[in-house]
Structure 1
Amino acid sequence: MTTPKIDLSHLAAFVIACDSVSMSQAADAIGLTTSAFSARLHGLETRLGLKLFARHGRNMWPLPSAVWLYNRSVRLLLAEEFLRQRVRSGAEETIRSVIIRLDEAYTGTYMARAVQDAIRRVHSIQQDCFLDLILSRQSSFESNADQQPMISNSTSILELSVRCAKGSNGSNEPSVMSVDTWMAVGEGAVDPQIDKDALRDMIVLELPGTLSDDIARHPNWPRLSHKVTTAAVSLQDYFGMALLLSSHDLLLPRPLIPARVAAIAPRMYTVPDGPPCAIHARESGMDPVMQTFLAELQRALSTADLSSGGSQPFSPAATLKQISTFNLVVKTGSMAAAARAVGLTAPMVPTQIALLETALETPLIVKGRGGSAATGSGLKLHPICLGIEQSFNDALAKSSKVAAEFRQSIRIGLPPSWSSDSRTSECMAEALSVFHREFPDCRIEVVEGPRDALHGGVRNGQLNIAVVGRVDLQVGSLPIGASEDISLIVNKKVGFCPQAKRVSADELRGIPLILAPAQVTMHQTLITALAKATVQLEPVMRLGSIPLIVSVIRRSPFGTILPASVVRKELEEDLVVAFPLDHIVPRRRLWAIFSTDNPLSETERRLVAHIKDAFASTL
């Protein structure tokens, strides 16, 4: 694992920022100055390439792009907190796991907060079972199956949802654990039983399942139906809800009222004659801890105050670097081997292990003649340490997809040869210009690299899209057009003149060539093609920069292999001469490659379409 630049302390600050109405309130909760807290959040946004917050008046609102990170941060922080509680309890049993699953649409609501509180309560009284909270939703950047259990032995799953209660449940239906009401939230929020004429217009937001339709069509609402409309605003669109509150009251099931909205709402009243809403629980696996959790959840739902602040802030003691170092030592069986694997100096590994042992208050690694091994406590904690590291890496790999989904930024990988002045680069410049006009708020970042690096960047999520001439099997691809024909470019001082119309392989071998086979695919392809004809081509220089190669060719008696358009200026000045090589290396097809883990977002598809159009019209 690459040492992360984001750590659990950043995620804890981010979570409390999402749960707090103002920056100063969030900073006070974890004992930081407002400026230091703001800098920590800005650093997180910079490292992820995501804008996470917006301001509305004196309030700071998480953007929809923050929902994805919030849920994964809470999951990681719950796991780190469980590690410390597990050690303090002295529990000897092997850790087992139960998955608690919620729809991501519940993020930030009264119910989601109650679930978090119930999990933390269960962890404090029963340390042999880890409750793995997974909030997910099918989207263009993530599927419901993307978040793997932190502990592989998870066999029990508890799914929670809010529905309208309708009679008794069948044998295959989830059990009803709590019945609640609908509430009006806003500046009006006048109880219609007290003053029906003063009732403001009410808005039903986009709610999970059929809840929106259920409330709008309920037969007991004839006197309120003319006051109720719907709005395409999600429960996580805090800015949109803030705008609606100025003219409407929000009509919501009590469990799904966003905690931040409840904190600033002047009034809230129960709406009479509305359909009841109930929390349903579907159990799979029947682990005994499920009943303990449901009892704690029921208690949290019945006693929590909607207008109160958030849960107790997370205060992680361990770091991701310490956890990943511990995992690596267990894997390699030696601190020295672990240091070599990640390029650290020898003393750094035991230092990180010592810091983790201090944070968890238990020995984790013992040194022996044959290397280093995990202690009994270390072996018991290792599965969840692995889960924390893997879950963090998986979340980090999704950040570029999330940024593209919300049209904030997009990263494109190109071969090094495209940095030169050529028709190919003109095509790309045209495509990026058109894309920017269509998505003016989406930041475009272009990085260069050899083919293998571009494929790796796509697979690990660092790049949204890359353009290559040859595609590996592990990525998805779409054709975008054809490359330019390549040519032999020779400085006139070489005095080269082919014996026939086409340059032969033997003649090519006799020219002092400057190539970059490790960086430029066309050079690698040429060398491979000649090798099949038993012609070994050995360059006199290997330069990884196309502009540098052109600069050398312009001044000195050397040759290279490039599209002729790269050296248009040199050809016009009669400094070099170009000879076609399409008989040795035919024109290649170009491909836009992308990760197959998730479908392309609309933003990514539009970029690919613009690239394809540019190549079709120019080449």
Structure 2
Amino acid sequence: MSLPRIDFSHLAAFVAACDCVSMSQAADALELTTSALSARLHGLETRLGLKLFARHGRNMLPLPASVFLYNRSLRLLSAEEFLQRRTASATDGAIRSFGVQLDEAYTGTILAHAVLDAIRHVHSIQTACFIDLILSRRSPAEQHTDRAPLISTSSQSLEIAVRCTEGNSRARGASLLPADIWIRAGEAPSDIRTGKETLKDLLIPELPGTLSDDIAHYFSEIRPSYHIAAAAVGLQDYFGIARLLSSHDLLLPRALLPARVAASGPRVSAVPGAPACLIEVAESGDDSVVKAFLAELRRRLATEDPSESRRPFRPAATMRQIGTLNLVLKTGSMRSAARAVGLTAPMIPAQIAQLEAALGTTLMVKGRGGSTPTGSAAELHPMCVGIEHCFNAAIRMSRKVAADFQQSIRIGLPPSWSSDSRTSECMAVALSAFHREYPECHIEVDEGPRDVLHGGIRSGRLNIAIVGRVALQVGSIAIGTSEDISLVVNRRAGFRPHSRRVSADELRRIPLILAPAHVTMHQTLIAALAKATVQLEPVMRLGSIPLIVSIIRRSPFGTILPASVVRKELEAGLVEAFPLDHIVPRRRLWAIFSTENPLSEMERHLIALIKNAFADALEDAKQPLAAAES
């Protein structure tokens, strides 16, 4: 179980900020000050490395990069809200579920808002069945993990789509929801001289499926008097939509008008002669909850005020509490759960108690043999597992989205040797070249030992990491070879080996300062000597390479490092370097990444630049050691 720094409260603030036309309106809806809301949003952006909003005039608009997180936040917050309603109603029995699937291209539209509002309404009147809203891409190249149901036992699904009665996306059958009309939407004021609305040229934004091509073809063939052009601006590109509205009218189905635009009170009118659109529902199964949902959706789509503000989410539980419950039920006891995550025993019961207070139900009962889960805990468990899985996947993939949108890439590196080392120079060359090509991309570099870097890749905290040994469950690309390592000794130690190659016994007699918990080469050296029955015990174990070098420069100690790390000390005659390639041979270096998410083109290009930098520096790496030996 991970202990996330991002929680439902951050996601609720983010969703409100996306839905409301201004930050002050969102803050009022959440009963927060504007500064408190801004702090939550800034914290979310910082922790994800993903810029979610940008200023447009006096307001902040969501960026296209925020679409992924927005859709997953709706799903998670709706599930957490259902848990609250379920426990408040004291409904018994296993939780049933069916999914409602929408293409991600519908995000933020009147249709998408109506779907979510209908789901929340049905949850308010019944809590036996959870309606799972799934907004994801329908591209064949996309992974299907986002379309998996939150509750694994879900057996039904509805797919909602808008289709034109003319063209390639022609409706396949009767619509279960009201037919929709094509509208022209603009922000132009009335003409002062005539008092009439000023109509502008019509532009068709990028619409889901083939709607854009269908309507453009229809008017060019059937009604050529209309002057219509296509615009390469998606419905979730609020900056692009605002720019288009300032000079044109938009042509689109009423249900696909972005809700933020509708809330701003645009000029809207029906387009005469346009073919009808049908809102189709492809369903499987016949269920009373499904019928209730469709009836409510039909009512909301027929309302005359689609800009009605949405009631904000108010999560009561936290992801940490839900994750703790899942861990207790998985391990079988609170004590085992505490051991699994390295917490003290009282911390687990405290989290369970807080979750019980948030949901208003008892989840664990104490007995002589320890605590046992209640029937309520067993019923909620499948959904809690789904929430935790969805939450972790959303946070992990949001960092991937940051890289795809050229905003942020997080790189993990081994502990710094020094500013002069070949590894540092190669990374500096590669990152400088990358920044010249992608100046808008923010690069973050974290340092840590091998296991920490692998953990960062698996959790999604890091996009790429450079390691000397590759563990399981990660992808890898070879980028070059490591430097030859050397025994570096202060001259005042008076060390003189019997031959050019330092023997294991000679190495053991030197007072060494190592960092075996942080540096892979030190781990490798100790393991190699142990096979030769030579036990190497350092006089100091430090976690900082610069500190080790500083001590070696001043005192009669030795350490194990590439010679390039102590280039200045070698030139000043303060230390001597002796090769150890016969004990620890040169190893390959790898760029590792998550196998769950394919590398973006930008990430692949960065790895290629790193690989080229190591290849160019391969011959130069031998020069410092050669100079020292001469």
User: Would you say same fold, with TM above 0.5?
Assistant: yes
- Match of 1:232, SS? strand
- 1:462 paired residue number: 461
Residues 464-505 of structure 1: per-residue CA shift (max 9 Å, x gap): 100111112311111222222222212222322232333333
CA shift in 2, pair 1:201/1:403, >3 Å: same
- 1:39 paired residue number: 39
Question: Is 18-27 or 409-418 further displaced after alignment?
Answer: 409-418
> What TM-score does the superposition give when structure 2 sets the normalisation length?
0.91
| 1:294 Cα deviation from its structure 2 partner | 2.1
Question: Is 160-169 or 606-615 further displaced after alignment?
Answer: 160-169
- 2:371 paired residue number: 372
Distance in 2 between residues matched to 1:173 and 1:215, nearest whole Å: 17
Q: Verify the 8 A CA contact 2:489 2:577 in the aligned structure 1.
A: yes
Question: Is 11-20 or 486-495 further displaced after alignment?
Answer: 486-495
The alignment-based identity, stated in percent, is 69
- Match of 1:416, SS? coil
| 1:442 Cα deviation from its structure 2 partner | 2.0
Letter in 2 for 1:149: P
Distance in 2 between residues matched to 1:555 and 1:142, nearest whole Å: 57
CA shift in 2, pair 1:168/1:400, >3 Å: closer
Distance in 2 between residues matched to 1:149 and 1:214, nearest whole Å: 32
Residues 17-60 of structure 1: per-residue CA shift (max 9 Å, x gap): 11100111111112222222222222222222222111211222
Q: Verify the 8 A CA contact 2:514 2:542 in the aligned structure 1.
A: yes
Distance in 1 between residues matched to 2:529 and 2:114, nearest whole Å: 68
Q: Is residue 392 of structure 1 aligned with residue 380 of structure 2?
A: no
CA shift in 2, pair 1:304/1:50, >3 Å: farther
Residues 217-251 of structure 1: per-residue CA shift (max 9 Å, x gap): 11576545662111221111101110111111111
CA shift in 2, pair 1:113/1:169, >3 Å: closer
Unaligned runs of 5+ in 2: 619-630
- Match of 2:234, SS? coil
Q: Verify the 8 A CA contact 2:150 2:383 in the aligned structure 1.
A: yes
Distance in 2 between residues matched to 1:538 and 1:39, nearest whole Å: 49
- Match of 2:538, SS? coil
Q: Verify the 8 A CA contact 2:403 2:603 in the aligned structure 1.
A: yes
- 2:55 paired residue number: 55
The equivalences for 1:165-314 within 5 A come to 165=165, 176-178=175-177, 179-188=179-188, 199-218=199-218, 222-224=222-224, 227-303=227-303, 305-306=305-306, 308-314=307-313
CA shift in 2, pair 1:359/1:538, >3 Å: closer
Q: Verify the 8 A CA contact 2:163 2:169 in the aligned structure 1.
A: no
Q: Verify the 8 A CA contact 2:169 2:211 in the aligned structure 1.
A: no
- 2:421 paired residue number: 422
Letter in 2 for 1:318: A
- Match of 1:354, SS? helix
Q: Is residue 498 of structure 1 aligned with residue 497 of structure 2?
A: yes
- 2:565 paired residue number: 566
Residues 314-365 of structure 1: per-residue CA shift (max 9 Å, x gap): 1222222332333333334444444454455554444433333333222222
| 1:269 Cα deviation from its structure 2 partner | 1.2
- Match of 2:500, SS? coil
| 1:5 Cα deviation from its structure 2 partner | 2.4
Distance in 2 between residues matched to 1:515 and 1:547, nearest whole Å: 12
Question: Is 461-470 or 284-293 further displaced after alignment?
Answer: 284-293
Question: Is 447-456 or 429-438 further displaced after alignment?
Answer: 429-438
Distance in 2 between residues matched to 1:409 and 1:235, nearest whole Å: 24
Residues 122-148 of structure 1: per-residue CA shift (max 9 Å, x gap): 212231111111111268996232454
Question: Is 317-326 or 573-582 further displaced after alignment?
Answer: 317-326
CA shift in 2, pair 1:225/1:69, >3 Å: farther
Q: Is residue 432 of structure 1 aligned with residue 431 of structure 2?
A: yes
- 2:117 paired residue number: 117
| 1:449 Cα deviation from its structure 2 partner | 0.8
Residues 134-179 of structure 1: per-residue CA shift (max 9 Å, x gap): 1112689962324542211112122222222359999x96763232
- Match of 2:80, SS? helix
Q: Verify the 8 A CA contact 1:476 1:595 in the aligned structure 2.
A: yes
Q: Verify the 8 A CA contact 2:169 2:210 in the aligned structure 1.
A: no
Distance in 2 between residues matched to 1:51 and 1:417, nearest whole Å: 29
- 1:595 paired residue number: 594
Distance in 2 between residues matched to 1:394 and 1:85, nearest whole Å: 25
Distance in 2 between residues matched to 1:136 and 1:114, nearest whole Å: 17
- 1:478 paired residue number: 477
Q: Verify the 8 A CA contact 1:416 1:520 in the aligned structure 2.
A: yes
Question: Is 425-434 or 318-327 further displaced after alignment?
Answer: 318-327
Q: Verify the 8 A CA contact 2:204 2:230 in the aligned structure 1.
A: yes
Distance in 2 between residues matched to 1:86 and 1:401, nearest whole Å: 34
| 1:548 Cα deviation from its structure 2 partner | 1.6
Residues 402-455 of structure 1: per-residue CA shift (max 9 Å, x gap): 221222221110011445531210111111122222222222111111111111
Q: Verify the 8 A CA contact 1:142 1:598 in the aligned structure 2.
A: no
Distance in 2 between residues matched to 1:345 and 1:26, nearest whole Å: 39
CA shift in 2, pair 1:167/1:60, >3 Å: closer
Distance in 2 between residues matched to 1:592 and 1:363, nearest whole Å: 48
Question: Is 575-584 or 135-144 further displaced after alignment?
Answer: 135-144
| 1:107 Cα deviation from its structure 2 partner | 0.7
- 1:362 paired residue number: 361
- Match of 2:134, SS? strand
Q: Verify the 8 A CA contact 1:141 1:405 in the aligned structure 2.
A: no
CA shift in 2, pair 1:138/1:303, >3 Å: closer
Task: Provide the alpha-carbon RMSD of the alignment.
Answer: 2.8
Letter in 2 for 1:506: D
- 2:628 paired residue number: none
Q: Is residue 95 of structure 1 aligned with residue 95 of structure 2?
A: yes
Distance in 2 between residues matched to 1:256 and 1:328, nearest whole Å: 42
| 1:304 Cα deviation from its structure 2 partner | 5.3
- 2:603 paired residue number: 604
Letter in 1 for 2:502: V
Question: Is 267-276 or 283-292 further displaced after alignment?
Answer: 283-292
Residues 90-147 of structure 1: per-residue CA shift (max 9 Å, x gap): 3223101111111111110011001101111221223111111111126899623245
| 1:286 Cα deviation from its structure 2 partner | 4.7
| 1:573 Cα deviation from its structure 2 partner | 1.2
CA shift in 2, pair 1:583/1:344, >3 Å: closer
Question: Is 251-260 or 599-608 further displaced after alignment?
Answer: 599-608
CA shift in 2, pair 1:473/1:378, >3 Å: closer
Distance in 1 between residues matched to 2:385 and 2:535, nearest whole Å: 48
| 1:591 Cα deviation from its structure 2 partner | 1.2
Distance in 2 between residues matched to 1:489 and 1:376, nearest whole Å: 64
Q: Is residue 144 of structure 1 aligned with residue 144 of structure 2?
A: yes
Letter in 2 for 1:289: V
- Match of 1:309, SS? coil
Letter in 1 for 2:164: C
- Match of 1:363, SS? coil
Matched residue count: 614
